[in-house]
């Protein structure tokens, strides 16, 4: 709608005449502590009306600022985020008040832009960790919103995108549900539920598909807290509506942004399908270490000695089922070419997707399309039956009162479905509203809700095991960006086609695309710096550094006793910091060697004497600056999409959560809980050694084969 308004010249003429008067009235009438004024301050600082904007562009900028506030003003969660800035004096230390008396007397607009920047830097540097976390989150959200306008598309010369992803008409015909609700219990019309699987990501989808395909007369029910997106009906990558916490989850310190899928298919629905074979040497080394430690027995991966035959057969099945393909050299765009030409170890990815040249609307092949929907439809190839309950979050496990070594089912709560045209609601025609509680009983329960989800269920169920949630792995990633003298056009073609492992296997370089909004979020400069960079967006190129981090006992998932919310406590170890510094320096070397005139990393730490944005023009400059980085929480943009290891496999109940049989250890008895399994990324004893999606698929296949065939 905004774009259409911009195209109407008559509207612009009227708007230009009126906006200056409106803006003047707002500046002088709004109280300093009002929500609207805080919005204006954030907007004007991070998207300034500098001299490079034309008069019409300045008018558009004000229009978008007001339209934004109109959209945001009714959202109480947004207002909650703004509260700390409304009461700034209550949050900043006295030393900041003493250093900036002019700000607190004259207001933010009453001082120069340089003084504003000094003040913002002081807040990030000297405030409490909690306040810094709040400001860091607020900065992310507002920069994303600010740089989502048609004006940004105009300035960056990026083709305009619709506010919502396109919706394609897909005819999905599913058989009638065999589930019904009777006296607050979900029951199966064909008898007892044999397997209740919680979580529909790569592990849960494989497990339910194979149980339904191979186990005669088996009743399988799959429960997912997220909504069911009809496969091929829309572009799902990076859709924040399909992410846990709307893609705003942070560690408690604010030092790590965590991305988790929250939809049917989990991460397979929202990721960009980078497929690392579990047969890669760096992954097989990790799997061997799990066997050597006793976390898994050798026969899980091998038929004879160390032949890896079971692993190879399972992965061949995965590749065929989810349509894993190799990227061809002609699919490498200019941005990916930077890494491909700049690192001798670089190679092309495998992807779970179709080629863009095939003329498909949605190239992605998710677990929903490849595994869940075929099993739901059933047919001659399926000996059992699969049912799916979406928009239902498991609160806790239900244990047998007479036998604590058995679970009888789960208690779940219905959630509000995502109200989008590509979502299929109430697949079972339960007709129950959000907040309704029900129980569902089963002979066996398998948790496959991921490192965060499975851990939360075990914690909320008071399972007697003090290792639950401890030693998580995150694969923290940090981007590095270069400015070139020629056009890179990072959004052209296939976004991710190239990666490069480090020679020591301690980190990976991974090429992928980023739009202007993401560049704004990770840019360490002030609004003038960000806007200047966005205007040269077509000449930006870069990639990310993904660290293979250590498992540290201090990193954990837990339930906050005061808020009853699940939280993530994660910090880099000193060894991790050293390896990440080296990765960043190596990345600068690659970018400079490929022609970047300067580079920058997403850190607001003071790396020079001025404390202002100062990009690296040489490897030497970068080496000196990066070696000073402390990775202070709230001053760096680190993200994670690969949480692992909250319910580690192990042979001893006192030092692990899940046994080599994938059953949960009960430390009070020293025995397994006979019918409670966990199979997902949470059981990994260490990092799997690379992007984990294909390994999760494969390990789930090996697990379910053993469950069905006793293989």
Q: How confident is the model at residue 33 (pLDDT cuts 50, 70, 90)?
A: low
Nearest to 168 by CA among 364, 331, 427: 364
Which of 49-58, 293-302, 350-359, 433-442 has the least mean pLDDT? Answer: 350-359
Give CA separation, 464 vs 176, 468, 664, in Å: 40, 9, 10
Please give the average per-residue pLDDT across 73-92, as a whole number. 84
Which of 130, 129, 287, 256 shows the shortest CA–CA distance to 557?
A: 256
Say yes or no to pLDDT of 16 above 60.
Answer: no
Q: How far apart are CA 649 and CA 644, in angstroms?
A: 12
Residue with more model confidence, 238 or 376: 376
Asked if pLDDT for residue 23 goes beyond 90, the answer is no
What letters, b where the CB count within 10 A reaches 16 and e where it falls short, cover 479-496?
bbbbbbeeebbbbebbbb
Q: Is the pLDDT of residue 225 over 80?
A: yes
Per-residue pLDDT at 6: 43
pLDDT band for position 711 (50/70/90)?
low
Residues 6+ apart with CB under 8 A from 676: 397, 407, 444, 445, 447, 663, 664
Q: How far apart are CA 677 and CA 317, in angstroms?
A: 23
27 or 466, greater pLDDT:
466
Beta-carbon count within 10 A of 318 CB: 25
pLDDT at 34: 85
- Give the pLDDT score at 38: 87
Cβ-Cβ contacts under 8 Å for 108 (sequence gap 6 or more) = 41, 45, 116, 119
pLDDT tens digits, one per residue of 637-655: 999 999 999 999 999 999 9
Segments of 183-237 assigned E as strands: 185-188, 195-198, 219-223, 228-229
Q: How confident is the model at residue 92 (pLDDT cuts 50, 70, 90)?
A: confident
Strand pairing category for 556-559 and 566-569: antiparallel
Q: What pTM was estimated for this model as a whole?
A: 0.92
- Specify the pLDDT at position 650: 98
Residues 6+ apart with CB under 8 A from 127: 91, 92, 93, 96, 135
Q: Is the pLDDT of residue 267 over 90?
A: yes
Among 3.50.50.60, 3.40.50.1400, 3.40.50.300, 3.20.20.70, name the CATH number for the domain at 179-283+296-323+365-467+691-709.
3.50.50.60
Residue 4 has pLDDT above 60, yes or no: no
pLDDT at 289: 97
> In this predicted model, what pLDDT tens digit does every residue of 169-202 receive, in sequence order?
999 999 999 999 999 999 999 999 999 999 999 9
Residue 59 has pLDDT above 90, yes or no: yes
User: What mean pLDDT do residues 93-106 have?
Assistant: 88
> Which DSSP letter does residue 540 get?
E
| Angstrom distance (rounded) from CA 32 to CA 45 | 15
Band the pLDDT of 367: cuts 50, 70, 90. Answer: very high
The answer, yes or no, to whether residue 5 has pLDDT greater than 50, is no
With a cut of 80, say whether residue 86 has pLDDT above it.
yes
Of 19-28, 110-119, 412-421, 547-556, the least confident: 19-28
Cβ–Cβ < 8 Å for 218, 278: no
Q: Is the pLDDT of residue 2 over 80?
A: no
Mean pLDDT of 496-506: 93
Task: State percent of the chain over pLDDT 70.
Answer: 95
pLDDT for 9: 46
User: In whole angstroms, what is the distance from residue 486 CA to residue 615 CA?
Assistant: 18
Beta bridge partner(s), residue 250: 257
User: What is the pLDDT at residue 162?
Assistant: 79
Q: What is the percent of the chain where pLDDT is above 90? A: 73
At 37 the pLDDT is 86
Mean pLDDT of 538-561: 96
Residue 404 vs residue 418, higher pLDDT: 418
In 3D space, the residue among 16, 146, 4 whose CA is nearest the CA of residue 69 turns out to be 146
Pairing of strands 477-483, 185-188: unpaired
Q: Which of the four pLDDT bands, split at 50, 70 and 90, describes residue 19? A: very low
Q: What is the pLDDT of residue 8?
A: 45
Check residue 611 and give its pLDDT. Answer: 66
Give the other-Cβ count within 10 Å of 518's Cβ. 19
What is the model's pLDDT at position 609?
Answer: 67
**Range in 349-358, 533-542, 656-665 with the lowest mean pLDDT:** 349-358
Tell me the β-bridge partners of 652.
none
Q: Supply the pLDDT for residue 10.
A: 41
Return the domain boundaries, the chain. 2-91+127-156, 179-283+296-323+365-467+691-709, 477-640
pLDDT of residue 50: 83
Contacts of 259 (CB under 8 A, 6+ apart): 243, 244, 247, 249, 270, 639, 640, 641
Give the pLDDT confidence score for residue 417 in this predicted structure.
97
Query: With 80 as the cut, is the pLDDT of residue 463 above it?
Result: yes
Q: What's the confidence (pLDDT) of residue 126? A: 77
Contacts of 327 (CB under 8 A, 6+ apart): 348, 349, 350, 351, 494, 497
Instruction: Quick: pLDDT tens for 109-138.
Output: 888 888 888 888 888 777 788 888 888 888
Mean pLDDT value of segment 405-417: 97
Residue 533 pLDDT greater than 50, yes or no: yes
């Amino acid at each position: 709608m905004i774009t259409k308004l911009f195209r109407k010249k008559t509207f612009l003429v009227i708007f230009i005449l009126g906006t200056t008067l409106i803006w003047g009235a707002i500046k002088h009438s709004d109280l300093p502590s009002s929500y609207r004024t805080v919005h204006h301050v954030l907007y004007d600082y991070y998207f300034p009306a500098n001299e490079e904007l034309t008069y019409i562009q300045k008018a558009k900028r004000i229009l978008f600022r007001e339209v934004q506030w109109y959209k945001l003003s009714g959202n109480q969660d947004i207002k909650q985020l703004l509260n700390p800035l409304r009461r700034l004096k209550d949050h900043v230390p006295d030393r900041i008040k003493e250093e900036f008396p002019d700000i607190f007397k004259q207001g933010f607009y009453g001082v120069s832009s340089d003084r504003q920047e000094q003040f913002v830097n002081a807040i990030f540097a000297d405030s409490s960790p909690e306040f810094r976390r709040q400001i860091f989150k607020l900065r992310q959200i507002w920069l994303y919103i600010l740089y989502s306008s048609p004006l940004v598309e105009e300035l960056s010369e990026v083709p305009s995108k619709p506010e919502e992803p396109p919706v394609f008409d897909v005819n999905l015909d599913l058989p009638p549900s065999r589930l019904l609700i009777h006296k607050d219990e979900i029951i199966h019309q064909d008898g007892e539920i044999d397997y209740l699987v919680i979580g529909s990501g790569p592990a849960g989808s494989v497990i339910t598909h194979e149980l339904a395909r191979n186990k005669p007369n088996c009743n399988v029910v799959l429960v997912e807290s997220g909504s069911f997106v009809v496969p091929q009906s829309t572009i799902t990558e990076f859709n924040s509506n399909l992410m846990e916490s709307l893609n705003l989850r942070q560690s408690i310190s604010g030092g790590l942004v965590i991305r988790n899928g929250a939809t049917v298919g989990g991460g397979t629905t929202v990721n960009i399908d980078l497929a690392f074979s579990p047969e890669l040497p760096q992954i097989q080394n990790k799997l061997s270490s799990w066997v050597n430690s006793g976390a898994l027995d050798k026969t899980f991966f091998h038929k004879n000695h160390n032949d890896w035959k079971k692993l190879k057969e399972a992965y061949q099945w995965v590749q065929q089922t989810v349509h894993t393909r190799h990227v061809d050299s002609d699919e490498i765009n200019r941005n990916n070419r930077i890494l491909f030409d700049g690192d001798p170890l670089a190679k092309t990815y495998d992807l779970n997707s179709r080629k863009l040249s095939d003329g498909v609307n949605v190239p992605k092949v998710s677990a929903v399309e490849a595994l869940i929907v075929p099993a739901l439809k059933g047919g001659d190839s399926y000996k059992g039956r699969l049912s799916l309950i979406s928009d239902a979050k498991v609160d806790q496990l239900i244990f047998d009162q007479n036998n604590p070594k058995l679970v009888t089912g789960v208690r779940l709560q219905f959630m509000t479905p995502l109200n989008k045209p590509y979502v299929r609601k109430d697949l079972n025609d339960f007709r129950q509203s959000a907040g309704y509680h029900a129980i569902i009983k089963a002979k066996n329960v398998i948790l496959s809700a991921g490192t965060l989800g499975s851990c939360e269920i075990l914690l909320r169920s008071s399972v007697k095991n003090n290792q639950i949630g401890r030693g998580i792995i995150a694969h923290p990633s940090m981007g590095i960006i270069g400015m070139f003298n020629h056009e890179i056009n990072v959004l052209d073609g296939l976004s991710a086609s190239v990666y490069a492992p480090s020679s020591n296997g301690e980190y990976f370089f991974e090429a992928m695309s980023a739009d202007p909004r993401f560049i704004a979020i990770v840019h360490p400069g002030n609004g003038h710096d960000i806007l200047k960079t966005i205007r040269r967006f077509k000449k930006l190129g870069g990639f990310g550094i993904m660290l293979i981090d250590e498992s540290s006992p201090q990193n954990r998932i837990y339930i906050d006793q005061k808020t009853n919310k699940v939280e993530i406590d994660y910090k880099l170890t000193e060894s991790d910091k050293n390896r990440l510094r080296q990765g960043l320096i190596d990345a600068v070397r690659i970018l400079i060697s490929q022609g970047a005139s300067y580079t920058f990393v997403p850190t607001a730490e003071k790396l020079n004497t001025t404390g202002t944005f100062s990009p690296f023009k040489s490897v030497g400059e970068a080496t000196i600056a990066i070696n000073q980085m402390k990775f202070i929480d709230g001053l760096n943009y680190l993200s994670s999409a690969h949480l692992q290891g909250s319910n580690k496999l192990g042979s001893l109940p006192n030092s692990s959560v899940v046994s080599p049989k994938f059953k949960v250890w009960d430390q009070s008895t020293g025995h397994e809980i006979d019918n409670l399994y966990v199979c997902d990324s949470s059981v990994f004893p260490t990092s799997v050694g690379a992007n984990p999606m294909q390994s999760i698929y494969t390990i789930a296949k090996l697990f379910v084969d053993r469950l069905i065939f006793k293989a």
